Amino acid sequence: MAREEIIEKLDKFLTKYPIFEEECHVVYLLVEIRKLLDRDNNPDFLLARFYCNWTVHTTKENHEVIKEIIDKIDECYPASSHHPIKDDGIFDFLNMNALKKELRELFDRYSLPTSVFEDNGWSAFVDILTEVLSDQPILKPKTGIESIGLISFGKGRSTIDIKFNDGRTDSMAGGER
């Protein structure tokens, strides 16, 4: 399938579904984005590519792209504490703020409809993507962390599940978005 056909399919899809309601909508979008990036041999949009890959794999081991996010999460849990001392990295990860920024740039570059980035659209996208990624942990993202996973509790409620392998107590953090 040619690049132009993928863009046309995405344009029609995003016009028909300005707010996603089903898991298949989010999975389809991310699969088609991955195809577009591959077709263009596009080295940009590494975070979008990471989420596209994570969506279709039961575990994720290549995580260099999200190193900065993992570092922020790790900083929330010093060795001497059993609870996060700050939660900015956790909530950035749960809200997928960096992904939103990168996807918006990608949509702008390919002139795709952007309604998914409006408040209700983005909340619906994140809710569904979190459900898709639940039980698909990121394995060994950093020394001291065994895995990081997402758990969805429904609309606007999710948790990050962090399992440590360096003596820190495993933790779950999150809540309302």
Asked whether the whole model's pTM tops 0.85, one would answer: yes
Q: What is the pLDDT of residue 92?
A: 75
Q: Can you tell me the mean pLDDT for 57-71? A: 80
Q: What is the pLDDT of residue 177?
A: 56
> What DSSP letter does each residue of the chain carry, written as one string?
--HHHHHHHHHHHHHH-SS--SHHHHHHHHHHHHHHHHHTT----HHHHHHHHHHT-SSB---GGGHHHHHHHHHTS-TT-SS-S--HHHHHHHHTHHHHHHHHHHHHHTT---GGGSHHHHHHHHHHHHHHHTT-PEEEEETTEEEEEEEE-STTEEEEEEEESSSPPPEEEEEE-
Determine how many CB atoms are found less than 10 A away from the CB of residue 64. Answer: 9
> What does pLDDT average to over the chain?
87
5 pLDDT exceeds 80? yes
| pLDDT band with cut points at 50, 70 and 90 for residue 85 | low
- Per domain, the residue ranges of the chain are 3-176
| pLDDT band with cut points at 50, 70 and 90 for residue 82 | low
Q: Can you tell me the mean pLDDT for 122-134? A: 93
